[in-house]
A and B are shown apart, each in its own frame.
Chain A
Amino acid sequence: MDWIGQYNYYVVFFLMMTGFYVVVARGNLVKKIVGLNIFQSSVFLLYISMGKVDEGTAPIIVAGEAIYSNPLPHVLILTAIVVGVATTALGLALAVRIKEAYGTIEEDEIHEQDDDW
């Protein structure tokens, strides 16, 4: 097993768990979004890593090159990045509206303000 050669996957899972932890553990709504972004970025890296072919160049046809990296994961991740940007934008917009409505973006302070239904 080539442990060093898989270092990008270690990075992926480190980022994934970091992001996930931030989303779960932080009470600040903007920090949660940051965590969510780290979490999603790790998935982008996962896809990009799997698209890499040993010795392969960028997937553009040029004379003298026979091996190319797999372009499909790149395309998929372009889509996923767009989705991620939209999610971030919506999340931040909601955080702004919450700030306007409650005067805070700390989760526990928001819960204090709402009477129980």
Chain B
Amino acid sequence: MILDNLPALLVVLPLLGAPLCLLLSRGRPAWVVATLIAWTVLAISIVLLWQVRAGGVLHYAFGDWEPPWGIDYVVDRLAAYVLLIVSAIGAVVLPYSWRSVSREIPARLHAIFYTLLLLCLAGLLGIVITGDAFNLFVLLEISSLSTYALISLGRNRRALTSSYQYLIMGTIGATFYIIGVGLLYMLTGTLNMADIAARIASMEGSSTLHTAFAFIVVGLALKLAMFPLHLWLPNAYAFAPSVVTAFLAATATKVALYAMIRFVYTVFGPAFTFGEMHVQLLVLPLAAAGVFIGSVVAAFQHGIKRMLAYSSVAQIGYMLLGIGAMSVTGLTAALLHLFNHALMKGALFLAVGALVYRIGGSRLHEIAGAARDMPWTMAAFVLGGLSLIGVPGTVGFISKWYLIQAALENGWWPVVVLVLVTSLVAVVYIWRVVETAYFAERPADAPPVSEAPLVLLLPTWVLVGANLYFGIATGLTVGLATDIAVGLYAGGVAP
């Protein structure tokens, strides 16, 4: 009974928990409710992944309205894989949030904070699980609106302008998406993704279809911060509260990328995307530019959060390179990096959050010499940084390894060089932090700091541990990502 309704509960639980948090109106009970829900959601995700691990597909027709008329929730391996990472990040971040939030956000806003975080989680999970194009728009807006509000809770007043800028760009992206869905509806008369896919298969050459594709891809590219549509991202990450940054960096862009993969591969199909629309001609240069420029700009930042944000732009570029490679190996690399980047950026931003908790800021000159007093926090940062660089034994190595393999398969030497060079740039910007924190003297007038409390260290180290574990025991991630990629390319791709 419960088992049959798991796909619905996954979204309904956080959605119901959100008003409950608001009604509780006090920070601590709201936090307890939110944490319990996040853990339950993680458990549900694990069960769902277990159920579809062999390649089955779970369908859940909302209100018993048969698809394509009703809204259909679909759990296949791709969805379950992304659900797992999103809910895992949620489950790790929430226990961390209490101490960090009580330091960074005024007490009267705590209940609202957890309400928003649960709404955001519900929206993100919903985007992944829904099989209905319009439902995806609604859930996209639920997660986006709560994200704008979460970002504006940052202490610096620039959080407000960052949030506003993200609101404008995010709404344009979502509206582009909805225009595309409208055109698809005109063409096919259906909103169910599987149904759309079946009906547009015979519509090659339709200009409405081409326009719909363009609107949807550009709209989602705005949400996933594809270079040069990434302008909202650095400020949003830099000025949001630390917990929000960690949560968003690890989930929001990944979910938008998932939506892109969903449309490109299961709705439009790789043959149409690469054979008729030649998306690779646009995506590859932009992804390469994003990788290069994101990395280089990151190396010149004075704030660690902003540095990691620009690094995120570069990492998204890696994922898009994988998609642009038009091969099973490339898509595997993209999916692996989607999972792995969530782990590394989650760990890094949680470590930065611990620094902010003790020091009050995370600009380079503020953390000078902090490693002596906060060894565990900085050690977590270093390990996360190594993973970001792609040192063997960490998850970063695995995804870059597959990306380079994909590039070699296509004979794309410049891409290989690009990946290697930008990894070296990553060494530079991680090293700047390490150098300042370990070797610089603590400023004489700086107040004394001590190690971050255990409730902050533990979640950080859980993610650091995951970085190392999945870097060595690659069976789950690589096996699953390969299976998904093979499945998505099953229809073949016209060269």
Contacts and interface: CB of A to CB of B under 8 A. Distances in A.
A23 B175 CA distance: 13
B237 interface: no
Contact of A39 (B134, B152, B172): B172
Could you say which of B148, B172, B363 has the most chain A C-beta atoms within 10 Å of its C-beta? B172
Interface residues of B, number: 31
B171 A36 contact: yes
Nearest to B181: A76
A50 B167 contact: no
Contact of A87 (B137, B145, B191, B306): B145
B171 A86 contact: no
B207 to A, nearest CB: 13
A10 interface: no
A116 to B, nearest CB: 9
A98 B141 CA distance: 22
Given A29-B164, A32-B168, A43-B175, A83 B138 contact: yes
Interface string B159-191: 011011001100110010011001001100001
A94 interface: yes
A19 B134 CA distance: 22
Interface string B433-460: 0000000000000000000000000000
Given A73-B185, A98-B160, A101-B157, A80 B303 contact: no
A17 B122 CA distance: 33
Contacts of A50: 182, 185-186
Contacts of B171: 36, 40, 87, 91
Interface in A65-101: 73, 76, 79-80, 83, 86-87, 90-91, 94-95, 97-98, 101
Contacts of A29: 164
A117 interface: yes
A80 B174 CA distance: 11
A94 B164 contact: yes
B149 interface: yes
Nearest to A33: B168
Contacts of B163: 94
B302 interface: yes
Contacts of B160: 94, 97-98, 101
A2 interface: no
State which size class the interface on A falls in: 20 to 34
Contacts of B185: 50, 73
A97 B172 contact: no
A20 B157 CA distance: 27
Contacts of A43: 175, 178-179, 182
Contacts of A76: 134, 191
A95 B178 CA distance: 25
B278 to A, nearest CB: 25
Contacts of A11: none
A82 B171 CA distance: 13
B85 interface: no
Interface string B136-163: 0110010001001100100001101101
B184 to A, nearest CB: 11
A110 B179 contact: no
A73 B152 CA distance: 33
A19 to B, nearest CB: 9
Contact of A117 (B145, B178, B191, B302): B302
A51 B141 CA distance: 23
A15 interface: no
A23 B182 contact: no
A47 B182 contact: yes
Contacts of A32: 168
B401 to A, nearest CB: 35
A12 B315 CA distance: 37
A23 B172 CA distance: 9
Interface string B318-355: 00000000000000000000000000000000000000
A102 interface: yes
Contact of B161 (A20, A86, A98): A98
A39 to B, nearest CB: 6
Interface in B186-208: 186, 191
Given A47-B182, A79-B138, A117-B238, A94 B303 contact: no
Contacts of B178: 43, 80
6 contacts: A36-B172, A83-B137, A91-B168, A94-B148, A101-B157, A102-B157
Given A79-B134, A94-B167, 20 more contacts: A23-B168, A36-B168, A36-B172, A76-B134, A76-B191, A83-B138, A86-B141, A87-B167, A87-B171, A90-B148, A90-B149, A91-B167, A94-B148, A94-B160, A94-B163, A97-B160, A98-B157, A98-B164, A110-B161, A114-B161
